[in-house]
Amino acid sequence: MPLYESAAVVLRSMKLGDTDRIITFFTLRYGKLKAVAKGATKPKSRFAGRVEPFVYCNMIAFGKEKADLLRLNSCDIIEPFGMVRNDFEKLKRAFVSAELVDNSQKERDTNTDGFELLLAMWRRLSRETDARKQDLLLRLFELKYMSTIGFRPFLKSCVDCGGDIIGPKAGFNAIKGGVVCHKCVTSDPAASMVFIGSVKLMGRSLEMPFEKLDRLKADPGLQGDIDKIVVGFVKYHVRRNMRSERFLAL
């Protein structure tokens, strides 16, 4: 029976029967995989504390070639991300990031860039105490992650007329996935008005590694725009209701 061994993060952990758990992993080598951790809820289980959401581990599982559900053999922690689980503000944002990956990533479809990005996001989130900065990190993560699954927003010229983006304001059309110029924005019902600075900041974030995003500063106006743009963009293209988004309002 094939063995699956990979660095992985836990996206989700769900109870199965009295003592087992189904773990959704996002693995570096195989993409998203699900595995049963037998007896995981028993007090003396070898999986205790290892199959919690956001744990970064080395996992070994086995199962048939195309099985939907594997059996988890071991999960050795590399980084526990306890700082994220034990702080409600960080936890909420980590949930949104994990849910986006879970909802948009097909099983057994590798996404190395997405994997590295998720890890970078959780590492940065662990250290960030400012809630507003945590929000910006989350939105920029989502934006960058969407690019890794083929949805890179088009920010260079107008998606309606192809014209240049000039002036203090522009529009963003989540359905077409890009920016709309100041002339077209009034006749495009799907576009919402945003500051040009927000579009530029998003454009710069897409060109930078996640670790360097700290250099980008957003005042409340820009941050509000980025929130609106990214939430709309993700909602339209991932086409699922992000349940965890509701946590952010708590």
39 Cβ contact list (under 8 Å, min separation 6) = 19, 20, 45, 47
Q: Between 163 and 209, whose beta carbon lies closer to Zn ion?
A: 163
Burial 90-112 (b: 16+ CB within 10 A, else e): bbbbbbbbbbbbebbbeeeebbe
Q: Between 20 and 160, whose beta carbon lies closer to Zn ion?
A: 160
Q: Nearest approach, Cβ of 206 to Zn ion (angstroms)?
A: 21
Q: Between 181 and 230, whose beta carbon lies closer to Zn ion?
A: 181
The length of the chain is 250
Task: Using alpha carbons, select from 36, 111, 90 the residue that is nearest to residue 68.
Answer: 36
Return the CA Rg of the chain: 20
Q: Between 96 and 170, whose beta carbon lies closer to Zn ion?
A: 170
Q: Between 78 and 161, whose beta carbon lies closer to Zn ion?
A: 161
d(CA 88, CA 191): 34
Q: Between 33 and 180, whose beta carbon lies closer to Zn ion?
A: 180
Residues that bind Zn ion (CB under 5 A): 158, 160-161, 163, 181, 184
Collapsing DSSP to helix, strand or coil, 176 comes out as coil
Q: Which amino acid is at 233?
A: F
Collapsing DSSP to helix, strand or coil, 1 comes out as coil
The beta strand positions in the chain, using DSSP E, are: 3-16, 20-27, 31-37, 56-62, 70-79, 169-173, 178-180, 191-195
Q: Between 131 and 166, whose beta carbon lies closer to Zn ion?
A: 166
Backbone angles phi, psi at 76, to 5 degrees: -95, 120
Q: Nearest approach, Cβ of 167 to Zn ion (angstroms)?
A: 11
